[in-house]
Structure formats: C-alpha cells, structure tokens
Amino acid sequence: MKYTKIPNTDIKVSKICLGSMTWGNQNTEAEGHVQLDYATDQGINFIDTAELYPVPATAEISGRTSKIIGTWLKKSGKRDQVVIASKIAGSGDYTAHIRTTGFSPNAIKEAIDLELKRLQTDYIDLYQLHWPERDTNRFGVRSFKLDTKWEDNFNEILHSLDKEIVTGRIRHIGISNENAWGTMRYLQESKSHSLPRVKTIQNAYSLLTRTFETDLAEVALRENVGLLAYSPMAFGVLSGKYITGNAEENARLKLFPRFARYSSEQATAAAKRYLKIAEENNLTLAQMSLAFVNQQPFVTSTIIGATNLEQLKENIGSVNVNLSGELLSQINTVHQELPNPAP
C-alpha cells in the first residue's frame, strides 16, 4: 500500500480509501466485515462513510452502513489503527427522513451525536459536509442557476464545527460535492476569523468526469486541499462489465437503473474507447481507470467500493499500477475528443 497525509495534518492515510455505501443494502453486515478485514490486511487504513448510507437512501436503512462499521470496530479492536471519515447530509427532498434543518448548529451537533453512537467511537477523524446547502450545480448538474433564497452561513457552519473540534468529537473537517467558489469561501472564512480550515474535498472524479480539473484542481493544489475522489469507477461503468454484458444481477445499475449519470450514449462511447486502450496495454479497464485517478497530483486518496472480494482485490491492486506517459497520452486523446461525457 502507498500512503499520503491529509493536507495540513499529521494523519497518514492510505492512497486507497475504502468506501462503504453498499453495506446494509447491496451487502450484508457480514460481507462488510469481510471487506474491512481484507482491506485492512492489505494496508488500507482509511474508511469513508456517511449518515445517509447505504444508498439509495431510505428512512428504513439510513445510518445502517455506519452501524456495520461500528460493530466491526468493536469486534476488531482496530479503532486506533484506522482513519474514519463521515458526512452530515445536506438539505434536500431525499434527506427529509434524516432532518430538514440543513447545517444549523443543532443539526451538526445532532448528526455527530448519532454518528458517534452508530460507529461506536468517541471521535471522527474527518467530518465532511456531504453537499452544499445552497442549490448549485452538484451531483452532475451541468447548468447553473443562482439560488437567491439561500443566505450565506459559511461562518456559522465553521463556528459549529469548531465547537466539535474543541470537544474532541471530530478532528478535522472537509467538504463534498462543492465547487470552486464554495471552497474558497470556506478558506476565506477560516483565514479571516481563525476558524477550522477545510482539509479535503470529496468530489466525483474519473475518466468520464474530469470536471474537477477545470477549476478545482488549481484550488486544491494552490490551497493544499486534498481531493478524495469518489466514483472513480463511474458506478461500475469503468469496470467494463456493462459494456461486455458481464454485469451480475446485483450490480448497481441493474438494481437501481435510475443511477444513469454515467450511462449516456457519449459516456458509453468513451468507456468503450478506454476499454480498448486498457486491453491494448494488458490492463483491465478497472486497473487503468483507478490508476489514472491515483496518479493525479491533487488526489489525496481514491475512494473505492466493491460488492464482492474479487472486485475489492482488483481495485486495491490498482495502487501498484503505473501508467506510462504514452498511455496517458492515449487517454487524453479520448478526453479531448469526448470531454467529460458524464457531468
């Protein structure tokens, strides 16, 4: 395993982060525990969850993923050997079953109270805002419309998180599904008012979604905010299994066809071309896709997810794959001709 540090901290994390959002829905508790055992045996020490998980989110199963991690932490006794990242859900119709108060001071306190109980721990290493409260172009929305109803509350949010850091219940903070303006506003508030500084940003990034490079990559590198890249496999599209027709019946897009963000005609065309490049270079598409993300200078850790051990083994093994300059040039040729087919 390769390691790096969460920016501006002394916390060492594996370059591969174990995602968990299938546990409690597509995967059982026992399967989640097996994945955790295998991943930590391979040197992974970074685990990502959220109060929203598993997905698709419903009132009946909300928080179940973190409970699975909590029972594993209690059983394994490895709390001091792993770095736990979690998230508070933002506002939205699909999170009304959790709460409707956004990132208010009481909401942040309540969310952390409940998550600590689920995880059976006294602290969370990295606590993230799952998406902005304001209505902006998140979750693959390409167009932009100014939200005139939202009132600026960056300062209030940071004050609330600061209180939790002081008590020791969270150690550091991050953001997720954020854009360049929101990231810089958080950094501005922390600098101007001596408030906690955002250390990471968790956004989608893959061969099919490289929009992070248009503005946020420069912010990440110049401001030292590390990307935790999620969906590096584009909901499994970049495994090649949907292209070749080898997807199992419990594959995400078969179970939940509404998750079609990476399944457009353009995205499929790009994925087919990437598959050809991988095969010509004696790699699987999954290995090439993950290695591409791992090698980016603005990426702190790549969040992988798997529904079985074979997938998990292949995904973790990508950390040892190095893409040559020639292969990267081939990838960039496709990107120039089919740029960001999935937003």
Catalytic residues: 53
Q: How many residues can be counted in the chain?
A: 343
SS3 per-residue string spanning the chain = CCEEECCCCCCEEECEEEECCCECCCECHHHHHHHHHHHHHCCCCEEECCCCCCCCCCCCCCCHHHHHHHHHHHHHCCHHHCEEEEEECCCCHHHCCCCCCCCCHHHHHHHHHHHHHHHCCCCEEEEEECCCCCCCCCCCCCCCCCCCCCCCCHHHHHHHHHHHHHHCCEEEEEEECCCHHHHHHHHHHHHHHCCCCEEEEEEECECCECHHHHCHHHHHHHHCCEEEEECCCCCCHHHCHHHHCCCCCCCHHHHCCCCCCCCCHHHHHHHHHHHHHHHHCCCCHHHHHHHHHHCCCCEEEEEECCCCHHHHHHHHHHHHCCCCHHHHHHHHHHHHHCCCCCC
With a CB cutoff of 8 Å and minimum separation 6, the contacts of 167 are none
The token pair that represents 4 in the structure block: 């790096």
Tokens of 96: 């009304």
